[in-house]
Structure 1
Amino acid sequence: MPLYSTIQTMDAALRLFVGLAVTLMIVGHTESAAVDAVTSEPFDFSEVLDSNGNYVLFWNFNSAHVTFEVHVQTTGWVGFGLSENGNMFPSDVVIGWVDDSGNAHFSDRHANGHRLPLKDKSQDWHLLQGSQDGAKTILKFQRKIDTCDPQDRTIPENTARVIYAYNDEDPVSDDAIHYHGSTRGTKSVSLLSSIQTPTNLPSDVKYIDILSRNYLLPPAKTTYHCFAFKMPDIGKHHMIKFEPIVTPGNEGHVHHFVLSRCNVSNPDDIDGIHGMCYDDRPKALPQCNEQILAWAVGGEAFYFPESVGFSMGGPEDGNLYVLEIHYDNPSQRSGVIDNSGIRLTLTSSLRAEEAGMLMIGDTVTFSQLIPPGRQNFVTVGMCNDKCIQESLESSNLTEINIFAIFQHSHLIGREIRTRHFRNGTEIEPLQNDPFYDFNFQETRKLPKVVKVRQGDSLSVDCVYDSTSRVGLTFGGLSTSDEMCLSFIYYYPKFPLSICTSRRTYNAVNSPPALAYHDLVSVDWSNQTEVAFIEEKIERSKIAGHCIRTDQPPNYFQDFDSTMYKQPFVAPQTVCTNRK
């Protein structure tokens, strides 16, 4: 299909059709609540837990407590709880109902098998009120973030696996609660997220939709499609929000977006070029290294803090943008048409701080190796102090301020931690998600801004469960391959955009090619051979990659990684009775 470019002006909209559609809309806008319901108090957060809208969760939190309110389409009992992996057990749950006399019943329980959850010795979830409104049951309850009860689960700072269930009948007693049947489920949410949806955006906001245009997915398991475009000539603005636009019905195919930019000498000649991002990439399509945003499956809208914006449209903001879309098509369906992409919300009312994005972790390459049959195999990707030091010095900065992070791995990822080192010692991690969910990936604001200074270094640790795999899992682009990355938002902006590392597998005095061959030809049922190879992986040398927007890439061979093995020791909890 030949490329073409036309410009049409329709009221306040500017469209550029180039195989990609870039739409600028200038309108006033007021944000609306995510869920329309009458609640007992204003709630900052809400989530529809089931696909039919029968179970809606509202909540608020402070530094010590979380207040929940559930609205459920039933006149029977209602269950709610927390689980490590989304299963009904082991879990920390509550069960409540309102009887025919209007009396509310409620109990704190724990589930440890295919049986009625047992009442906790200590009742730490507290009912605030219970009522029925027609065919709906409403329960409001509260608990501490950490109850210090070994039969309860601490509410995590990142991914929480919420479980829910309900039944149409009231129990006859606390010990005779009918089975929920199929009216149950699980959903990953971030209960302690500090990002709230603003009730109003600035009156001068503009929206830019960057969408694929009737793209026909190839019948391939994995496709990375890239589109290059010029930003509409709007002058300097700040991006204050971004959100996904996914074609209905294609949710299972659209895996992630990455938007990047760069400066090129001939942007008009490249505007509109599109094709594969990696294999068979068009020669004229540049590899832009300044990351702007990353979104993946499960994520929703991200709002920048009120004092922070990401500069776009200014003279120093790059003249060419590239949108990368990763499509996942494991059944190799044909005939799938996609118009998905990203909506950017911009304002000309510039904010006090200008954000940048830094990608760190393990370099995406087949040098990342995960043996099969391992329940807790760890990959570490490092951003060394030299990369950070030189980039800060070149900008006359002593530190940057990190305010949000998007952590990313693929199907067998179970935990991700973004670690922070100073003077050879690990300090508090920037972000720790011990219950990572591939289907719930989002950019999350940190509870407090964290400073990264000259001399500091960072790493991303990913824990994988490869017990379902029979052979090696490699780092790579396919969803069945793996990644270990963190995309970090910070201010003020400096030139470092990518800071990663990879293992070179030459620790046993053998050429890299031979060392790599040894790794991929292992008999994984031979424990002696496996132990030798895992030692080789552990002892292999590490090469660092430092990519900046103001100079060619730097590579650091065989840098010292010993500091990354000294874990942060969290302060002891105030709880004395936790097992």
Structure 2
Amino acid sequence: MVYDYDDDADNYEIILNENITLRDIICVLLLVTYCHGYRFFQDKIPNGAIVPHPCREGDVWNGVGHENEQGGGVRNVFGLDFHANGKKWDRTLCLKDSDGDGLSNGQELGDPDCVWEVGKEPARKTELSHPGICNPWNSPECKEKTTFVTCGSNRLQCPAIHEEGTTNVTFRLPAETPVDSRETIYKCMVFDYPQDGDYHMIANEPVLDNLNIMHHILLIGCDGTDTEHPPGVPYDCAMEVDKNCVQIIGIWSFGMLGECAHKDMGFRIGRNGYKRGVIQLHWNNPERRSDYTDSSGMIVHLTKKLRPHDAGIFVVGQDHIVIPPGEELVKFNGVCSSECTNSLIKNEVKVPVAFNHMHGLGVSQKVELIREGRKIQDITYDPKYDYNTPELHIYETPLILKPGDELKTECNFNSMSRTTTTFWGDGTYDEMCYGFITYYPKENIPDPSCTAWKDVTLCAFNISDVIHGCHFNDLHDISKPSMKATYDLVMENCSPHIGCRKECLPVARRLKQSSCYRKGTVDDWARLNIEKESPDVLAIMKFYAALDSCDKELILEENAPEECPTVIKIESENVNGSKRLLPNIALFILAVCVLQWLKRL
């Protein structure tokens, strides 16, 4: 059976073939392996795109300067020399024998006379070897230097995709979809899943077209067919993929060959499952080139032999990240509280796989499972996290999550390479702190997100009216009696944008010591969500501006030294018994107090 959605020449393709082997599916990709980082460095060395793998005939080592064949992460000895040489090929680097196997880098890369220049053809393209891997790699002389070399298959190993009745669908962008010159780009496209019955998605693999820019791919399920964008038309997107498409059901990132679902579960699509989906591609274009195109996507493996359970992906972590520059260690925690899991998890679920997700500054991460105040185990733990090669934590005997469990995500960052503050965000140079936990049965966690914002689990805003002692749900609605009284009090005594009125100061002082308006998580979150939560945005914005009109005076009060009285009154008795102020002495003492206070600032 073949579905070919080709309404016009540039439309997207969906190919559904029955009983096709994995080798047949990816025959057009045989020359493509997975790489990351700055592949344009390959063009700066002779034969950089065809450096052979030392033990897999026909495969190339795309990350020539890295221990990871896909690129990224720890540099190998040639990568260290290339970097130290200013990231350029010259006679010095050419004559060097980086891997110590008796052959110069030039001899190994086809430039034995060290005359090659960028853009020109090398002297030869055959009999090449890797300049960063001692050859023969498994000889006694080289074995200790090549422990990072693996000779196993770099294709997804998933026996289920070869079983009878398994089919596959390819979802990818149209051929030669243009890539603009922005550094970070998110491109999405809606597509229709097969509707001739119910399927379980049991595996997925990436289809990688332009390796210079590919960063990661998400496969997302949509509720129904009422999407904001029509199928087959690529569009710019970021965190807001589509309001009706929010369930992540597939993920590919560098270092991953694909995903193979646990034997007892699958992601349901089709007649009684997801009818539409979205692929989201993250492009990283550090050269800001405008001449690139891409048609990457995903191969999705399906079966009509439904497994016992539908699957879902549970997201935990921290949504608020601010990392100062030049720090060796910056820590963030995000707690999915026991109160939230008690609300979100309707019955226990099983976890067969999970993985961590940070960006380039991340150095270590874990997600802890805590039950009744006691740590049970780490669901994920990457003591040496590598953004380019995420580790899947697979459990042959799935872990159990129960209502009332606590999930604590800990992310550690090193910002020594940055000169400016790094914030949470989508971009490659922003940061994130999330754990992705695959679970089943899906129906036991209908809303599979439990992230924190600072020290509050976000689901708490939905399950309780009180956060940190504040009746949060009233803060944005002037029609509520409690908020109306507070609003009237502030607007009668305070004015926005004209400074601190005398009668405003005691009002502001009292409110800013209360649970709803003192500096902290609740006040920050309330202000950030005015436009989203308030039926009268302008009135609430004026309210906060009026409330803040005495901030400077309150700060001065807070920092005033205790040993200096607010009013200094020094008097002496006149000869006639009357009293008079000694202004010079008073001013002197006041000046001393002010100097002491300034030293504290």
**Aligning the two structures, in what range does the TM-score lie when normalised by the shorter sequence?**
0.5 to 0.7
Partner of 1:460: 409
How far off is 1:237 after superposition? 0.5
For structure 2, list consecutive stretches of 5 or more residues without a partner in the other structure.
26-33, 36-48, 62-66, 78-97, 101-130, 457-466, 469-518, 526-531, 534-601
Pair 1:277 & 2:233 matched: no
Pair 1:297 & 2:251 matched: no
Pair 1:307 & 2:264 matched: yes
Summarize the Cα distance change of 1:17–1:476 in structure 2 as closer, same or farther, 3 Å threshold.
Answer: farther
Partner of 2:167: 206
The Cα offsets for residues 352-379 of structure 1, whole Å up to 9 and x where unpaired, read as 222111122122xxx4111212222222
Partner of 1:266: 226
The Cα offsets for residues 82-127 of structure 1, whole Å up to 9 and x where unpaired, read as xxx74679xxxxxxxxxxxxxxxxxxxxxxxx999xxxxxxxxxxx
Does the 8 A contact of 1:165 with 1:185 survive in 2?
no
- CA distance in 1 between counterparts of 2:356 and 2:152 reads 14
- CA distance in 2 between counterparts of 1:500 and 1:188 reads 37
Does the 8 A contact of 2:411 with 2:433 survive in 1?
yes
SS in 2 for 1:15: coil
Aligned pairs for 1:358-377 within 5 A: 358-363=314-319, 367-377=320-330
The Cα offsets for residues 188-236 of structure 1, whole Å up to 9 and x where unpaired, read as 9999x9x953286222122111101131111001111121222232310
Pair 1:220 & 2:182 matched: yes
- CA distance in 2 between counterparts of 1:433 and 1:189 reads 24
Indicate the structure (1 or 2) with the bigger Cα radius of gyration: 2
- CA distance in 2 between counterparts of 1:422 and 1:368 reads 26
Partner of 2:40: none
**1:28 aligned residue (6, 19, 23):** 19
Does the 8 A contact of 1:29 with 1:203 survive in 2?
no
Higher strand share: 1
Does the 8 A contact of 2:171 with 2:191 survive in 1?
no
- CA distance in 2 between counterparts of 1:246 and 1:115 reads 30
Pair 1:328 & 2:292 matched: no
Pair 1:166 & 2:134 matched: yes
What amino acid does structure 2 have at the position aligned with 1:502?
Answer: W
Pair 1:15 & 2:5 matched: yes
Partner of 1:446: 395
Does the 8 A contact of 2:424 with 2:430 survive in 1?
yes
What amino acid does structure 2 have at the position aligned with 1:225?
Answer: K
Partner of 1:242: 204
**1:503 aligned residue (454, 473, 489):** 454
Does the 8 A contact of 1:291 with 1:497 survive in 2?
no
Summarize the Cα distance change of 1:199–1:293 in structure 2 as closer, same or farther, 3 Å threshold.
Answer: closer
The Cα offsets for residues 484-504 of structure 1, whole Å up to 9 and x where unpaired, read as 112211111131222211228
Does the 8 A contact of 1:29 with 1:200 survive in 2?
no
Partner of 1:92: none
SS in 2 for 1:390: helix
The Cα offsets for residues 440-462 of structure 1, whole Å up to 9 and x where unpaired, read as 13544235311010100213222
SS in 2 for 1:55: coil
SS in 1 for 2:245: coil
How far off is 1:240 after superposition? 0.9
SS in 2 for 1:23: coil
Does the 8 A contact of 2:17 with 2:167 survive in 1?
yes
Partner of 1:253: 213
Q: How many residues are treated as equivalent by the alignment?
A: 385
Partner of 1:286: 243
RMSD, aligned α-carbons: 4.7
What amino acid does structure 2 have at the position aligned with 1:479?
Answer: T
Does the 8 A contact of 1:294 with 1:406 survive in 2?
no
**1:357 aligned residue (301, 313, 336):** 313
Does the 8 A contact of 1:226 with 1:323 survive in 2?
yes
The Cα offsets for residues 18-46 of structure 1, whole Å up to 9 and x where unpaired, read as 86624131221344699xxxxxxxxxxxx
What amino acid does structure 2 have at the position aligned with 1:501?
Answer: A
What amino acid does structure 2 have at the position aligned with 1:234?
Answer: D
What amino acid does structure 2 have at the position aligned with 1:233?
Answer: Q
How far off is 1:265 after superposition? 6.5
What amino acid does structure 2 have at the position aligned with 1:222?
Answer: T
Using CA pairs below 8 Å that are at least 6 residues apart, which structure has the higher relative contact order?
1
Pair 1:347 & 2:342 matched: no
Does the 8 A contact of 2:99 with 2:132 survive in 1?
no
User: With structure 2 as the length reference, what TM-score do the two structures score?
Assistant: 0.55
Partner of 1:55: 54
**1:430 aligned residue (362, 379, 387):** 379
Identity %: 24
Higher helix share: 2
Aligned pairs for 1:90-169 within 5 A: 165-167=133-135
Does the 8 A contact of 2:380 with 2:393 survive in 1?
no
How far off is 1:404 after superposition? 0.7
Pair 1:383 & 2:336 matched: yes
What amino acid does structure 1 have at the position aligned with 2:165?
Answer: D
- CA distance in 1 between counterparts of 2:438 and 2:143 reads 46
Partner of 2:437: 488
Which sits farther off after the overlay, 432-441 or 330-339?
Answer: 432-441
Summarize the Cα distance change of 1:206–1:33 in structure 2 as closer, same or farther, 3 Å threshold.
Answer: closer
Aligned pairs for 1:38-53 within 5 A: 52-53=51-52
